[in-house]
Amino acid sequence: MKKYILYSIISLLYCYSLWSAPVSPESATLAAKNFDISMNGNTQRPNVELAYTGVTPRGTNAFYVFNINNLRFVIVAAEDRQEPILAYDFNAPFDVRNLSPEVLYFFENYGEEIQFIIDNNSEPEATTAEQWQILLSNSDVPPAITHRSTTVGPLLSTCWGQGWPDNSLCPVSGSCQAVSGCVATAMSQIMNYWQYPLSGNGSNSYSIAPYGTLTANFGATTYGWTGSAADRGRIMSDTGISVNMQYTCSSSGAWVLLNDQSGFHPRAAQNAYTSHFRYDTGIQGVRRTNYSYNNWKDLLRDELNNSRPVQYAGWGSSGGHTWVCDGYHQNFWGTKFHMNWGWNCSNNGMYRLGGIGGNQSDFPSNEQALINIKPAPCPSNVSISGTYSNTITQSGTWIVSNSTTIIPSGATVRLDADPSNGFVLLNDGFETQPNVLFIAQALDGCGAALPSRPVIEVYDTADEIASKDITASTIRVYPNPTNGMLNVEYPMSVKELKLYDIVGKLLLAKTVGKEGRASLDLTAIPPGIYFLSFDGQTTKKIVKE
């Protein structure tokens, strides 16, 4: 049985090599239809329209891009010795009017790969021949395929780009606002995936014509991850400055790896992740030239299986490009990797990595990636440093009313950290002592200080706040504590009663006459400590049980 299978495969390859030829647009159209049926289980043949034809460096057709029912796309090779399906996406059609430099770079690689196959008369793999045989079947129903399918991702949900509003905080010169750059866009989308960091570390400043000096203080910045235009603009700008982005109106560039074929780059994205954005120092820069084709795919799959997006990069005739690889699909039709090109989701999809044969890495050798991108782990022991100090004096703003009463020993002081990052940090308060120094600090648990506005509110819960016009001795409130009704007796000169809670919020206001007494219904008010003000001059403490 084994000999029979081996003989069959050898015969198939031998016969196939005799009739191997370029694939016409008509044959590629049939292949696109049959592929769509096999993947989506359509009962009717879809409407397939040729949207784009890619060529080799010598002008020979290399591949065809088809839109299917104007809802999805598939890219079919124009050479039957190449794996037939190069790319696809089932969520959107291919937009030929909005080709990103990254997509054009991939297309350039596809063209060079087809040219290599033609020039070297390369033989197809057995699976390639089988795939073409199925896709070019004229049967109304192509042969059934049992998919052993594995799908991971896409991990990213963002559709960010390099123009407005993502470049809203990038430098401006005259009428020119610089684009954010592919390095910043890839970094920002990966950081948004992790929703990290809360705040950065350190700062960076550099000069670039015609924009002058650009500066970012990462440690003093709180990053939001709501996806709003303001949040996107901030992280795009700061990631750009972190890598010394070379801004222009039409394209902006920076390095990705610390070390690559062109040398050492201390301001590369690899270093910026860890130095300025608190990512794990285990991040690695890897170059495809050091891996076989299969090992390179295994490396990417391992990252994605661990839910870590990869920052991918490559160089072509138009320069360097970087984007995010955030998923893959592996089945009968081969392994395709999901690419988020950083171009507002235009033409995102599952793409075949360029490569000749199972263990060769000749095409392309100019690719690299950042792997193991993840937030730094929180230490088990957090070091605390830095203080905020302030002195409470009588000149502070009173919550209830002006008073000449000095804060007495025994009053409760509550310390609230009111940060701009959305967290609420509370200290339950403590009893004061004369000449006490209060120190409060807020950390995020990973050693990062939380930017905040320290708020110290002082409440005298031990005594009434006196007034020299309406004295405490002329006022009676009972029962106090109360569980509902409160009776109040006061001088006939009082015109208004106001009830405040302990943070100064007005809960009740009542205009009173000259009868000198009133009843207040506090049944609906929660238990706690309140202050009853008499014309804003004298205040009585009320306890609701």
Q: Which of 23, 2, 104 is nearest to 339 (CA)?
A: 104
Average pLDDT in the chain:
81
Taking residues 333-338, report their average pLDDT.
95
Region 472-544: CATH code: 2.60.40.3080
1-145 to CATH, choices 3.40.50.410, 3.30.450.20, 3.90.70.50, 2.60.120.890: 3.90.70.50
235 strand-pairing partners: none
**Predicted confidence band of residue 146 (pLDDT cuts 50, 70, 90):** low
Q: Which of 73, 77, 80, 82 is nearest to 61 (CA)?
A: 77
Distance CA 257, CA 252 (A): 16
Quick one: what percent of the chain has pLDDT higher than 70? 75
User: What is the set of active-site residues?
Assistant: 182, 321
Please tell me if the domain spanning 1-145 has the same topology as the one spanning 472-544. Answer: no
Q: What is the pLDDT of residue 365?
A: 66
**Predicted confidence band of residue 506 (pLDDT cuts 50, 70, 90):** confident
Q: What is the pLDDT of residue 287?
A: 94
Domain boundaries, the chain: 1-145, 152-377, 379-463, 472-544
Distance CA 499, CA 508 (A): 5
Taking residues 487-492, report their average pLDDT.
84
Contacts (Cβ under 8 Å, ≥6 apart) of 165? 229, 232, 233
Q: What is the pLDDT of residue 345?
A: 95
Which superfamily is assigned to 152-377 in CATH?
Streptopain (SpeB) (3.90.70.50)
Residue 430 has pLDDT above 80, yes or no: no
* Cβ-contact 77, 63 below 8 angstroms: yes
CA angle 502, 504, 506 (to 5 degrees): 110
Taking residues 169-192, report their average pLDDT.
95
Q: What is the pTM of this model?
A: 0.69
CA angle 84, 90, 93 (to 5 degrees): 90
Taking residues 233-243, report their average pLDDT.
97
Q: What is the pLDDT of residue 505?
A: 81
Q: What is the pLDDT of residue 147?
A: 63
Encode pLDDT of 34-71 as tens digits.
999 888 877 678 899 999 999 999 999 999 999 999 99
**Predicted confidence band of residue 416 (pLDDT cuts 50, 70, 90):** very low
